[in-house]
């Protein structure tokens, strides 16, 4: 949003520089992104002043030149050689001093330097209007009629002093500040200076010769509608002051009537619209919706098909304007217009937003209406605009103000407690200062007690509806810089937050995976029915089918994240990306039928991991190895570790074979008998469905279940002061026995001293038999209270070996 520094000064005294004003606005929360100088003419007439010709004589060596002495406000007069035929002593003129750069009309800029012309010194230049870019005439120098003292900047004489454009990064919640008045309100509060509103006391109805029948049929979409007529006006070019104001904030002038509506929009924050009254058939203005499909040509010449929810401003025959969004071509103001109907309204934010989004129209009006304008501003803005139109275009006000406002919008009433103000801000602010700040922000205090008050918030502050919002208003005006740093401050909140923030967890897990070389993908939730048929027995329900699919290939919602990942792998492989590690957070969808016969729709959040190709890129240091199940298992465990799930964590898991419909081999980790994640090698028949021939490793997390679990409280314990010891065993076992059974039995047998179990070798061979294998297992023992003795170590190992022999049928090999 662009704000004019000089325009802002019409609302509040600002002796501060534009940069300082920008800093104060940023402190209130209206972040200023930049301050840029704006010159009405190139160069801003810098270095040009009002001067007076003291003497004028003919140059002795050139009949067409004159020697002058000029008072330009300096201690000594300037000697200037002038070639203008109309120069004479006693004239007030425009003087370009040495160092000034001139921007002539239709020519290249040039800088004034000291020079000798035909032997005579010249210390400046007396200027014609074309030489300073203010016209085309070169008949002679500009001769002024002004009492201004010599040395006065020429920009002040021409009322072309430089302005400054203050660029504010306006956040969506602060639509109240989307005007010069709104910005001035914040400065009024923070600087504690009077705020000047435009004077509309001169408004008067000249006669009621041209009164229209105005009706609102859709009061939900248009709670307030006001308007009046102005007759016998002359549409033409706007005066310089108006054009300069608009250009400063990046708006191109159109004509005096339209320019005034744009001016008032940015002046007060209230959009207005002017209709050519002669185009209003039947002398009727009706605010209503029209049948869907009704064609309408907007001001840009585009024909649009209206919906049955688009609020329109209509005459007796049809629509004239899309309410709060864009005017119509047929009813717009032109140079032939002599009578107008001037509209100022309060439209529903939801209605305008829906229409603007549907037609993809973004205008200054829709920007404001979509976010919520002031329902109490339309009449004041209407009077302001009518007076300005009379000033620049003439005419008479020929109707009373129509103000249709059946259900006035009430202020927000927000209970506020002083203890919460102190708690959230961190310091105690005097109650009188709180009242001053809120009063300056147009927030009244009612029901005042020693404990608090009720904040009565004007309806234009659509972002202040809660106690925390009121406290934020106090803090931003009081100033964050005025809050002293203190170790006693802590984060406070008036709101209960969920135990587990899903977004934070996704970021945390995503960072863990990307650190391990994974890339995040985002895929469609739509998929092919053929994919589901291939894994039908493993799906949790029946397909959710689209009623109007774009194609048969994308006609159902996915029930598994697998095929989205496989399609992404195939896409990248076709583009010679061979080593891939991907992860995705996404939802799956299915429907089930209850015992009562009703259909229940379910959506669940999942996290998928996919690996394909080599472990790392080719290198001279080591030979590339294809990814294996253990690589995926390690990545899965790193994710589970964040939730403290795993064999060495607080939450222990069980395992069972993964679903063979999906996996050629793999495991499902169970926590509290519920699946947390399944991982393994994808069945080749499934990868072939997406034309993949390479092995693919895949893991599927139940993200909703993980979110319910969250992270347990962190427990801390002292690092043991006594050393650990390691003992190794070789166990010959039946092939059906997994290492997990060894680990579980070991921890069940020795709960105090056993700190860790690890398998470091597996052997199978004819010497053991076809149905046997040997595990080489290490056991780490440690007592946190004392150094282990050989006797206690041997006793522990003997109990472990006995348990393995008894429970697992192990043969111990030493």
- Binding residues for Mg(2+), by number, are 463, 469, 472-473
* Inter-residue contact 303 to 427 (CB < 8 Å): no
Contacts (Cβ under 8 Å, ≥6 apart) of 407: 219, 223
Structure tokens at 94: 């425009």
Residues 456, 451: Cα–Cα separation, whole Å: 17
Packing angle of the helix pair 431-440, 467-478 (nearest 10 deg): 100
- CA angle, 392 as apex, 388 and 393 as ends, to 5°? 105
Q: Of 408, 352, 387, whose CA–CA distance to 264 is shortest?
A: 387
Q: H/E element holding 57?
A: strand 48-59
Residues 251, 359: Cα–Cα separation, whole Å: 23
Instruction: List, as residue ranges, the binding site.
Output: 463, 469, 472-473
Buried b (16+ CB within 10 A) or exposed e, 137-149: eeeebbbbeeeee
Edge-to-edge, what's the strand order for the sheet holding 663-671?
A: 519-520, 580-593, 599-612, 697-702, 674-682, 663-671, 654-657
Torsion of CA 52, 55, 61, 62, to 10 degrees: 50
Other C-beta atoms closer than 10 Å to the C-beta of 468 total 17
Residues 682, 661: Cα–Cα separation, whole Å: 9
Give the three-class secondary structure for 667.
Answer: strand
Q: Of 655, 691, 648, whose CA–CA distance to 670 is shortest?
A: 655
Residues 203, 188: Cα–Cα separation, whole Å: 26
Residues 106, 92: Cα–Cα separation, whole Å: 26
Residues 559, 541: Cα–Cα separation, whole Å: 8
Rg of the chain over all Cα atoms, to the nearest angstrom: 40
User: Which three-class secondary structure string do you get for 66-88?
Assistant: EEEEEECCCCCCEEEEECCCCCC
Q: How do beta strands 110-111 and 526-527 pair?
A: unpaired
Phi first, then psi: what are they for 165, rounded to 5°?
-95, 115
Q: From its phi and psi, is residue 160 left (phi > 0), alpha (psi between -120 and 50) or beta?
A: alpha
**Dihedral sign for Cα atoms in the order 237, 240, 246, 250:** positive
DSSP string, 347-382: --HHHHHHHHHHHT---HHHHHHHH---TT-HHHHH
Q: How do beta strands 599-612 and 697-702 pair?
A: antiparallel
Residues 100, 47: Cα–Cα separation, whole Å: 5
Give the three-class secondary structure for 166.
Answer: strand
* Inter-residue contact 681 to 659 (CB < 8 Å): no
Only one residue has tokens 């920008």, namely 22
Question: Which whole-number Å values give the CA distances from 742 to 191, 486, 668, in the listed order?
Answer: 75, 55, 18
């Amino acid at each position: 949003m662009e704000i004019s520094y000089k325009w802002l000064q019409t609302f509040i005294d600002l002796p501060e520089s534009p940069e300082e004003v920008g800093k104060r606005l940023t402190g209130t929360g209206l972040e200023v992104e930049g301050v840029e100088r704006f010159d009405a003419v190139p160069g801003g007439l810098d270095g040009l002043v009002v001067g007076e010709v003291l003497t004028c004589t003919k140059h002795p060596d050139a009949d067409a030149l004159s020697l002058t002495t000029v008072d330009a406000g300096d201690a000594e007069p300037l000697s200037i050689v002038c070639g203008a035929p109309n120069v004479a002593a006693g004239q007030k003129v425009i003087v370009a001093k040495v160092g000034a750069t001139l921007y002539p009309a239709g020519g290249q800029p040039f800088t004034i330097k000291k020079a000798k012309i035909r032997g005579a010194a010249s210390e400046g230049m007396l200027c014609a209007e074309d030489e300073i870019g203010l016209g085309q005439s070169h008949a002679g120098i500009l001769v002024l009629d002004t009492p201004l003292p010599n040395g006065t900047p020429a920009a002040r004489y021409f009322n072309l002093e430089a302005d400054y454009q203050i660029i504010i990064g306006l956040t969506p919640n602060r639509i109240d500040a989307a005007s010069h008045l709104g910005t001035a309100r914040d400065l009024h509060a923070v600087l504690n200076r009077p705020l000047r509103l435009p004077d509309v006391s001169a408004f008067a109805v000249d006669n009621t010769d041209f009164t229209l029948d105005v009706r609102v049929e859709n009061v939900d979409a248009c709670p307030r509608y006001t308007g009046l007529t102005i007759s016998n006006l002359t549409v033409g070019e706007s005066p310089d002051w108006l054009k300069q104001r608009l250009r400063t904030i990046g708006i191109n002038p159109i004509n005096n009537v339209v320019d005034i509506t744009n001016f008032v929009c940015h002046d007060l924050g209230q959009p207005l619209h002017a209709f050519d009254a002669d185009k209003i058939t039947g002398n009727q203005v009706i605010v209503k919706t029209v049948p869907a499909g009704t064609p309408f040509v907007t001001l840009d010449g585009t024909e649009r098909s209206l919906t049955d929810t688009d609020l329109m401003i209509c005459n007796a025959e049809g629509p004239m304007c899309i309410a709060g969004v864009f005017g119509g071509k047929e009813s717009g103001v032109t140079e032939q217009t002599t009578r107008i109907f001037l509209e100022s309204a309060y439209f529903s934010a939801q209605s305008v937003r829906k229409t603007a989004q549907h037609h993809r129209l973004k205008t200054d009006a829709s920007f404001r209406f979509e976010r919520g304008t002031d329902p109490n501003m339309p009449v004041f803005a209407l009077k302001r605009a009518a007076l300005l139109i009379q000033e620049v275009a003439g005419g008479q006000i020929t109707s009373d103000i129509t103000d249709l406002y059946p259900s006035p919008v009430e202020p927000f009433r927000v209970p506020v407690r002083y203890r919460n103000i102190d708690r959230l801000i961190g310091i105690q602010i005097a109650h009188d200062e709180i009242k001053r700040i809120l009063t300056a922000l147009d927030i009244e205090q009612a029901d005042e007690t020693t404990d608090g008050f009720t904040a009565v918030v004007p309806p234009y502050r659509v972002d202040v509806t809660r106690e925390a919002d009121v406290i934020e208003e106090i803090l931003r005006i009081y100033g964050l810089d005025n809050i002293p740093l203190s170790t006693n401050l802590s984060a406070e909140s008036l709101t209960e937050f969920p135990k587990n923030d899903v977004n934070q967890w996704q970021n945390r897990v995503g960072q863990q995976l990307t650190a391990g070389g994974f890339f995040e993908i985002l895929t469609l939730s739509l998929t092919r029915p053929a994919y589901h048929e291939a894994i039908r027995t493993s799906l949790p329900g029946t397909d959710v089918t689209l009623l109007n699919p774009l194609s048969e290939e994308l006609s159902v919602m996915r029930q598994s994240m697998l095929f989205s990942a496989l399609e992404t792998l195939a896409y990248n492989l076709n583009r010679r990306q061979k080593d891939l590690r991907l992860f995705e957070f996404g939802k799956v969808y299915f429907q089930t039928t209850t015992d009562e016969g009703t259909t229940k729709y379910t959506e669940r959040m999942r996290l998928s991991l996919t690996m394909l190709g080599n472990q790392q890129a080719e290198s001279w240091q080591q030979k590339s190895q294809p990814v294996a199940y253990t690589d995926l298992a390690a990545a899965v465990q790193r994710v589970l570790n964040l939730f403290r799930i795993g064999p060495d964590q607080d939450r222990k898991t069980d395992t069972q074979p993964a679903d063979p419909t999906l996996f050629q081999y793999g495991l499902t980790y169970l926590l509290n008998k519920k699946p947390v994640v399944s991982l393994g090698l994808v069945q080749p028949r499934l990868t072939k469905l997406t034309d993949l021939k390479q092995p693919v490793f895949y893991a599927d997390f139940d993200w909703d279940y993980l979110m319910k679990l969250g992270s347990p409280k962190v427990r801390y314990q002292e690092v043991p002061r006594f050393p650990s010891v390691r003992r190794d065993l070789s166990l010959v076992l039946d092939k059906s026995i997994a290492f997990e059974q060894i680990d579980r039995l070991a921890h069940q047998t020795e709960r105090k001293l056993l700190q860790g179990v690890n398998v470091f070798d597996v052997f199978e061979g004819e010497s053991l038999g076809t149905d046997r294998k040997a595990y080489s297992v290490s056991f780490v023992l440690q007592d946190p209270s004392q150094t282990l003795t050989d006797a206690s170590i041997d006793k522990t190992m003997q109990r472990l070996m006995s348990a393995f022999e008894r429970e697992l049928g192990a043969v111990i090999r030493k």
